[in-house]
Structure 1
Amino acid sequence: MAPYEPEQDTSEAGDLSAGRRKAARYVVPLAVAGVAAATIGLVPALATSGDPDLPKITAQELIEKIAASDTQQLSGNVKISTDLGLPSMGGMAGGFAGGGGSDHGEDGGGEGSAADPKSKLMELASGTHTLRVAADGPDKQKVSVLDDAAEYSLIHNGDDLWAYDSKSNEAYHAKGAADAEDASGKGADKSDGSDKGAPEDVAKELPATPKDFAEQALKAVDDTTSVKVDGTAQVAGRDAYRLVVKPKQSGSTVGQITVAVDAKTGTPLKFTLTPASGGAAVIDAGFTKVDFGKPSASTFDFTPPKGAKVTEADEHAADERGFKDKGGKEFEEEGLNDLKVIGEGWSSIAELKLPGGQGLPTAGSGDVPPDAQKLLDSLGDQVSGKFGSGTVFSTRLINALVTEDGKVYVGAVTKDALVKAANAAH
């Protein structure tokens, strides 16, 4: 096997722009949280074979190779999974997203669609999944989630976006998909308050391939990060380099990120995120089969099967807006608009406020039934400090502290780091 360069920090690995570094401070932990929470599940690390003898390459050169990769056409299978230490989201996802066939009740405006991407794709937040993916340029993509006896597909073809759930025989259709992102890569203008483009946005933001995960991770690369090339591997029959990204700072729950990069195309073939606490990977996503040829045009054709219930996005959007205005607008205005970021890099912590400036409801206040309070207590650890008291809710990657005065501290950091941040803020 060819020799490799010694470990480099990112000041040696590449000249990232000052603007990108500044943005990265705000992306972490939010982007890492998004990758972990909005995505998929894990199987044990995908089998690789051999250590191909490839020309040596520096971390700088490999990062540039990833950035320069312009793979427009591919098809294949991706095995993906997330082990956050949480129970499967299952049918709960629809409740959080306001879709998935759940009834919104009297104020919610009716039922959603079982094929709505905003709810259906959130089910990938836990468990093991196999995806069949295909792409032919920016206007044609397809992702299918394969279950034992059913299949869910999301198809973007020009101006149309279709989603189809074979289990329920329901389809979801959105027009104007091509307008959701302009030539500069910016999202559609939603200044009119509409949700036009929302399903498309979900589809684009949800990582579905190793490249999606790798792009999110590399946004966090700055001078708080160690980057090196650590050998080679073979993934899905392709020779690849292994890029290893590690936080330099203490307090992060991220142990390391390993990206297997196709030696020929620069396309990430496999992404693995392991926690600082050790054990199985939190996120592991990789191709088991990949072909960089042009997919058949028929791959992106879709006509709803006979008898399928079809929901049009424009009709559903009005119901969704009514539900969000009643259930989520207050949090967005009072919470996210007051977002602060404490620290930088991998140890950064987001601070925000709950609506009303109060902590979690309790059984003593009459807001929560006693049984529900027991469940809530079992999910979190009670902590105290200069800030008063609060509850820490933990996963293997993302932790959150909710204080009694309604502040939330969240990040890819340890419980002790959250308590320290809360103390410092008071």
Structure 2
Amino acid sequence: MAPYESDEATAAAQDEDLHTGRRKAARYVVPVAVVGVAAATIGLVPALADSGDPDLPKITAQQLIDKIAKSDVQQLSGTVKITTDLGLPNLGGLESSLVSGAAQGGGDGSSADPESKLTELVSGTHTLRMATDGPDRQKLSLLESGAEYSLIHDGKDVWGYDSKSNEVYHGTAADSGKEHTAEPQATPKGFADEVLKSVDDTTSVTVDGTAQVAGRDAYKLLIKPKQSGTTVGAISIAVDAKTGMPLKFTLTPKSGGSAVLDAGFTQVSFARPAASTFDFTPPKGAKVTEDKAESKAPRQAPESGKGFAEGLKGSDVLGKGWTSIATFDTGAEGGMPSGSRGGDLDGFLGSLGDQVSGKFGKGTVFSTRLVNALITDDGKVYAGAVTKDTLVKAANEAK
């Protein structure tokens, strides 16, 4: 059971359960795929309020957890600002193109496909405009300089529109899964839902006062790992005092400095959005790509960067809690070779990592401020929100 602590009381919470790249393609995208891992592991880090500390009734951490769980907001509209700083080197746009290419692997190749477009959220600061009217109507817009990308779910139809390229993606949300709906996951609620699944006896959860976010009174829930060896410092979730919906989510690394992830509403309304919000007709002259596979079967993860990230979901897990490490075999002998063995690209990517050795043999560790990944020369991968030393130790013990 996890310890839930507040200024006045400590309560016990129920435990809850906490992507495989293949061949040479996986080796090329490892440094960037780590970003994909981070997007998954991010759900596995303290939030600053707008201003003011409202005077709210006392609440225990357990009661606040329950309030989040019972929250059932069906209608809302608002603006979310999201900043991600994984500490990746500036590759002059190479990282973005690699991520997009990885996400499009096996896909339709449309710039309006949400699987590729929304990967832009893995770095920098972005503004999202969102609206929800029940489970069958959502809209998420990514506002860019002079352009906008919108993902609209209206009943069975899912539309993606990239105004910059004037391309349209069309799929359906029926039967084959929710991955093509516009249900917003890159929001405070989406991140909070994931992190709360990770709370167990390796975690300390406390109420850390109150705040005001987007003009709303909120409680602050502070989550800290008890374990050493993790790169996660703390997670703070600002929870709307009235509805129980998370309004702000901030993850800071143990190494300190700016947040790795900061996502929060700058404006929010719980009134029902106008029905016209979810209307969409492809603009004249737009290129429309139909996702025909949608009505036949769920999409399969491509054998590339996305496969790397998706593989983590079904990989073997070593350790427990915040020091859990996903491990799998890429089947790529030679790991991440040097330039002399693998060409200029391999050499460049290899230079981004740290060479390590141990009982497991030799390998390269690729690091971000949150997620580290070790790929050994015999093709094994170890990844998690853990330190380099923790990865090496796990690889040695697995050997």
Same fold (TM over 0.5): yes
Q: Structure 1: how far apart are the matches of 2:133 and 2:306? A: 38
* SS of residue matched to 1:91: helix
1:125 and 2:126 are equivalent in the alignment: no
Q: Structure 2: how far apart are the matches of 1:330 and 1:240? A: 39
Q: Structure 1: how far apart are the matches of 2:37 and 2:77? A: 22
Q: How has the CA–CA distance of structure 1 residues 330 and 220 changed in structure 2, closer, same or farther, with 3 Å as cutoff?
A: closer
Query: Which of residues 43, 54, 76 is equivalent to 1:52?
Result: 54
1:216 and 2:194 are equivalent in the alignment: yes
Q: How has the CA–CA distance of structure 1 residues 217 and 294 changed in structure 2, closer, same or farther, with 3 Å as cutoff?
A: same
Higher mean displacement: 258-267 or 400-409: 400-409
Residue correspondence of structure 1 range 264-413 to structure 2 within 5 A? 264-314=242-292, 324=302, 339-365=315-341, 368-369=342-343, 371-413=344-386
Unaligned runs of 5+ in 2: 19-33
* SS of residue matched to 1:277: coil
Q: Structure 1: how far apart are the matches of 2:36 and 2:196? A: 14
Q: Structure 2: how far apart are the matches of 1:168 and 1:132? A: 20
Query: Which of residues 133, 143, 146 is equivalent to 2:143?
Result: 146
Which residue is 2:81 aligned to? 79
Q: How has the CA–CA distance of structure 1 residues 237 and 338 changed in structure 2, closer, same or farther, with 3 Å as cutoff?
A: closer
Q: Structure 1: how far apart are the matches of 2:153 and 2:264? A: 22
Residue type of the alignment partner of 2:352: L
How big is the shift at 1:251? 0.5
Identity between Structure 1 and Structure 2 (%): 65
Which residue is 2:7 aligned to? 6
* SS of residue matched to 2:394: helix
1:229 and 2:207 are equivalent in the alignment: yes
RMSD over aligned Cα atoms: 3.1
How big is the shift at 1:338? 8.1
Which residue is 2:98 aligned to? 92
Q: Which whole-Å deviations, capped at 9, do the CAs of 1:239-266 have from their partners, x for residues lacking one?
A: 0000000000001100000000000000
Higher mean displacement: 281-290 or 377-386: 377-386
Instruction: State the number of aligned residues.
Output: 372
How big is the shift at 1:90? 2.9
Residue type of the alignment partner of 1:215: D
How big is the shift at 1:385? 1.2
How big is the shift at 1:349? 0.9
How big is the shift at 1:134? 0.4
TM-score by length of 1: 0.80
* SS of residue matched to 1:36: helix
Q: Structure 2: how far apart are the matches of 1:351 and 1:324? A: 19
Q: How has the CA–CA distance of structure 1 residues 409 and 235 changed in structure 2, closer, same or farther, with 3 Å as cutoff?
A: same
Residue correspondence of structure 1 range 108-119 to structure 2 within 5 A? 112-119=109-116
How big is the shift at 1:322? 10
Which residue is 1:199 aligned to? 180
Which residue is 1:263 aligned to? 241
* SS of residue matched to 1:355: coil
Residue type of the alignment partner of 1:68: K
Q: Structure 2: how far apart are the matches of 1:352 and 1:323? A: 16
TM-score by length of 2: 0.85
Q: Structure 2: how far apart are the matches of 1:267 and 1:358? A: 48
* SS of residue matched to 2:345: helix
* SS of residue matched to 1:423: helix
1:424 and 2:383 are equivalent in the alignment: no
How big is the shift at 1:424? 1.2
Residue type of the alignment partner of 1:310: V
How big is the shift at 1:5? 2.6
How big is the shift at 1:377? 2.8
Which residue is 1:242 aligned to? 220
* SS of residue matched to 2:101: helix
